[in-house]
Structure 1
């Protein structure tokens, strides 16, 4: 007879690098924008270095790196170009990581409240989740557009918990980057970091409760943390 696993009341999930591999879609969209600006196309590894801080930051950073800083009045136009290109390619080039569907279904069936906390704009988040049929698992999708202070500020995490009617004292965070871990720590909730995403610092430098190399194992890790708490 199998032992019933114990889960937290609420889990806040990051999106890119945690549940989905959006790097190919981001690269295609970003390179379309850069090509129009006369900037050479970036490799997958180069794009990975600037992913995780939001699209505006990414576009600004790449232009600065190539000695072409963007004037504020031009940023909106470039953002529109990027978002349009991303939406055109997002479904074709975005992959759901192995184990995500199965584990999210298990957690939902167990009554866990789940929300998405992402630094992406809503325009490039909700349609992708719907097309990948991931939206069915979440009680709330809180993007950078929905909060005054996005990750790593605690407001973003706390607003996600509030949106799913969760209890902060019974919540956990699952993400892939230093931004995610800082957001969880700032909100005062335990964090689990997956090791297949877009982290830019050594994992040993992060303040986490557990590292996760395979999403299939998330239920066991959650149970272990619940039992030991």
Structure 2
């Protein structure tokens, strides 16, 4: 079936927020638990919601930890965030060619808006689904299903693109095709173990994929 719709994760997929996220976790954990956490401890926190991640640290202080994390994250946003190669041109091309394109992220809307403004990508997207819009985060299908509903698209004509297993599993749970990105902080082999339909070496590869799907 012809691909008409592309859904993208934001962090680590469209924009490089990895160092911002790691720094935000490190700052927060160092403030509350000095000397206890190192960089390698926070890598597994990339992808799950803040509530899920901080629940593994201290179930009784989750709200406190999230508040400090978000304060630092917003304050330091533009100092850390970078754009991945070919992302802007690819999203612009998809928009110009009339594809339905959306973002499905586990981030809060205010920080999502900052990232989209910084990267100049906001103008291209038809829908943006954040953690504030749903009861369940990826890999639950709800956020992807909501995006499809708003775009008036079916799973069969959609590819979900992301850098983490939540994106691949979420896409599969919602019935879409899936694409992983090799620039994932978790590594290419980790993502391939979840068997996405495609792996992108760079974002512009998606144009080749949807071109071949149409033939």
**TM-score normalized with structure 1 length:** 0.85
Deviation (angstroms), 1:167: 3.2
Residue 151 of structure 2 is aligned to residue 164 of structure 1: yes
2:180 touches 2:192 (CA, 8 Å); kept in 1?
A: no
Residue 114 of structure 2 is aligned to residue 136 of structure 1: no
The 5 A counterparts of 1:104-183 are 104-183=91-170
Unaligned residue ranges in structure 1 (runs of 5+): 1-5, 64-68
CA distance in 1, matches of 2:212, 2:131: 32
Deviation (angstroms), 1:23: 1.1
2:21 touches 2:73 (CA, 8 Å); kept in 1?
A: yes
Deviation (angstroms), 1:7: 6.8
- Structural RMSD (CA): 2.0
1:192 corresponds to which residue?
Answer: 179
2:80 equivalent among 93, 109, 130: 93
String of CA shifts for 1:123-147, please: whole Å, max 9, x gaps: 3212221222111111111011101
1:209 corresponds to which residue?
Answer: 197
Deviation (angstroms), 1:178: 1.2
Deviation >4 Å, runs of 4+: none
- How many residues of Structure 1 are paired with residues of Structure 2 in the alignment? 213
Unaligned residue ranges in structure 2 (runs of 5+): none
String of CA shifts for 1:173-212, please: whole Å, max 9, x gaps: 1111211111000111111111111347634422321111
Which of 79-88 and 33-42 deviates more?
33-42
CA distance in 2, matches of 1:55, 1:123: 15
1:35 equivalent among 30, 35, 60: 30
1:3 corresponds to which residue?
Answer: none
The 5 A counterparts of 1:210-229 are 210-227=198-215
CA distance in 1, matches of 2:145, 2:116: 21
2:63 corresponds to which residue?
Answer: 76
